[in-house]
């Protein structure tokens, strides 16, 4: 990758100056009060994507920035809450993001590199099953809630006795602001999907932050990932990783939130081990690289193991296969979605054979089971495999 942090420019006069504080030396930060919801501290972040949201912080390329973040549901689930808390969630607050950060010198056509220096977890987390959401939303109709205690790089819960989940902390949602043209294009294409009956959350000012103006009325919901990255839930974006995003507006306007202590690839029940966290980041600007190389979608890398290899591989596992065949024997050739669904159902069956309830099995899959595409060439039956690490279970 060529380029660097050169060519820095001052923020235009129309952009408010940074509100961040420097707790250690010249380090910049956005600090929050997690006892309050984002709507009570709107200067610290937002929960819609829109190019007109003003930055909360300015950063020079190369300097460390610290962003304190709320959990994905903006603190609506408290440790010890009953399952009724799941049904009472205001979905319009998802996801509360901290930012934006205006990176000096970043311009449309540049490639913004975000290096993850650390993701420090808060001491508790949760995983939920929500009716109407998740990969198997047609099979799971009742809410379910698991509370996790996080200590010494492990998560444990009374809801899953003798299960320990190792740390793989990362930011589930991270991205840059779209341009006005992108905003219009993405809004149109998602409206087309909605008209065809696909599950889509269109723009909605209910519980939006900012609470008024174009961002509230027309800002895009943060649930789906897009070209600006957003809610990609890529579990490899741990400490040491580098995320590369094409810049669409001056300053990039980077924001992040929705931290996960651990997640299985797929996050099948719609949540991982959700937590609040503090992200330490460093930005670099690669001048003109996105335009020069026609990079329109996110890329990411890691110089080492994204987590200890015995967990990333994992060392001991059992896996189930899924193929594109329906329960009544209809072969839907090359249907990877059906293959993944069958791999997941087969893994839930395996866990139930071991004594876990259906809901417990679904949660275990969401926080620990990795889905991998094993075969996309041997028509008609592509293969998706679901990998369960055996060492999450204590003897």
pLDDT tens for 189-239 read 999 999 999 999 999 999 999 999 999 999 999 999 999 999 999 999 999
How far CA 362 is from CA of 102, 133, 137, 193, in Å, comes to 40, 13, 11, 28
Q: Which residues, 6+ apart, have CB-to-CB distance to 371 below 8 Å? A: 264, 265, 266, 268, 340, 343, 344, 384, 385, 386, 387
Contact criterion met (CB below 8 Å) for 333 and 379: yes
Which tokens hold the place of 264? 């299985």
Helices then strands, each counted (H, E), the chain: 7, 22
Helix (H) or strand (E) holding 147: strand 144-151
Is the pLDDT at 12 greater than 70, yes or no? no
In this structure, the strands spanning 154-156 and 144-151 are: antiparallel
CA distance 183 to 132: 26
Average pLDDT, the chain: 93
Q: What are the two backbone dihedrals, phi and then psi, of residue 129, each rounded to the nearest 5 degrees?
A: -105, 125
What is the side-by-side strand order in the sheet with 370-375? 317-322, 383-389, 370-375
Q: Which residue has the tokens 């269109």?
A: 202
The pLDDT assigned to 395 comes to 80
Is the pLDDT at 36 greater than 50, yes or no? yes
The pLDDT assigned to 245 comes to 98
Q: What is the mean pLDDT of residues 88-95?
A: 94
The pLDDT assigned to 4 comes to 36
The pLDDT assigned to 8 comes to 28
Q: What is the mean pLDDT of residues 118-131?
A: 98
Q: What is the DSSP letter of 328?
A: T
With CA atoms as reference, report the closest residue to 148 among 140, 137, 159, 156. Answer: 156
Where would I find the beta strands (DSSP E) of 310-365?
Answer: 317-322
With CA atoms as reference, report the closest residue to 129 among 161, 78, 85, 169. Answer: 85
Q: What is the mean pLDDT of residues 176-182?
A: 98
What is the side-by-side strand order in the sheet with 299-301? 28-30, 64-69, 277-286, 111-121, 242-246, 299-301
With CA atoms as reference, report the closest residue to 64 among 228, 284, 238, 242. Answer: 284
Q: What is the sign of the dihedral through the CA atoms of 233, 73, 257 and 117?
A: negative
Which tokens hold the place of 129? 């099953």
Contact criterion met (CB below 8 Å) for 129 and 141: no
For the chain, the domains span 28-307, 311-392
CA distance 36 to 125: 17
Q: What is the mean pLDDT of residues 88-106?
A: 97
Contact criterion met (CB below 8 Å) for 322 and 339: yes
**134: Cα within 13 Å, side-chain hemisphere:** 27
Q: What is the DSSP letter of 2?
A: -
Contact criterion met (CB below 8 Å) for 42 and 19: no
Evaluate if pTM is beyond 0.75.
Answer: yes
Domain 28-307, CATH class in plain words: mainly beta
Q: How confident is the model at residue 26 (pLDDT cuts 50, 70, 90)?
A: low
CA distance 337 to 342: 9
Is the pLDDT at 1 greater than 90, yes or no? no
How long is the chain?
Answer: 395
Helix (H) or strand (E) holding 151: strand 144-151
Is the pLDDT at 17 greater than 80, yes or no? no
Domain 311-392, CATH class in plain words: alpha beta
């Amino acid at each position: 990758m060529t380029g660097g942090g050169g060519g820095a420019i001052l923020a235009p006069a129309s952009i408010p100056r940074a509100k961040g504080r420097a707790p250690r030396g010249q380090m910049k930060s956005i600090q929050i009060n997690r006892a309050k919801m984002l709507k009570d501290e709107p200067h610290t972040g937002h929960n819609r994507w829109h190019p007109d949201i003003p930055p909360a912080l300015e950063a020079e390329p190369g300097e460390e920035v610290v962003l304190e973040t709320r959990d994905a549901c903006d603190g609506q689930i408290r440790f010890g809450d009953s399952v009724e808390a799941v049904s009472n969630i205001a979905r319009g607050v998802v996801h509360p993001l901290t930012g934006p950060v205006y990176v000096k010198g970043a311009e449309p056509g540049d490639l913004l590199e975000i290096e993850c220096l650390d993701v420090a977890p808060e001491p508790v987390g949760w995983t939920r099953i929500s009716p109407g959401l998740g990969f198997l939303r047609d099979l799971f109709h009742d809410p379910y809630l698991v509370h996790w205690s996080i200590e010494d790089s492990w998560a444990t819960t009374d809801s899953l006795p003798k299960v320990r989940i190792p740390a793989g902390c990362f930011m589930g949602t991270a991205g840059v602001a779209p341009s006005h043209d992108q905003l219009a294009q993405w809004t149109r294409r998602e409206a087309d999907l909605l008209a065809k009956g696909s599950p889509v959350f269109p723009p909605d000012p209910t519980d939006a932050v900012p609470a008024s103006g174009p961002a509230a009325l027309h800002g895009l919901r943060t649930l789906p990932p897009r070209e600006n990255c957003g809610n990609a839930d890529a579990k490899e974006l741990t400490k040491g990783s580098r995320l590369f995003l094409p810049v669409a507006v001056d300053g990039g306007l980077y924001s992040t939130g929705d931290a996960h202590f651990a997640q299985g690839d797929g996050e099948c029940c719609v949540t991982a081990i959700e937590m609040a966290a503090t992200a330490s980041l460093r930005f670099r600007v690669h001048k003109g690289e996105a335009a020069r190389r026609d990079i329109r979608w996110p890329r990411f890398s890691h110089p080492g193991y994204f987590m200890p290899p015995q967990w990333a591989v994992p060392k001991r596992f059992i896996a189930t296969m899924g193929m594109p065949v329906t329960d009544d024997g209809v072969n839907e050739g090359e249907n990877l979605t059906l293959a993944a669904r069958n791999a997941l159902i087969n893994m839930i069956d395996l866990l139930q054979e071991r004594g876990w309830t259906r809901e417990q099995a679904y949660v275990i899959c969401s926080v620990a089971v990795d889905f991998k595409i094993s075969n996309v060439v041997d028509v008609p039956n592509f293969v998706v495999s679901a990998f369960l690490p055996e060492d999450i279970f204590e003897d």
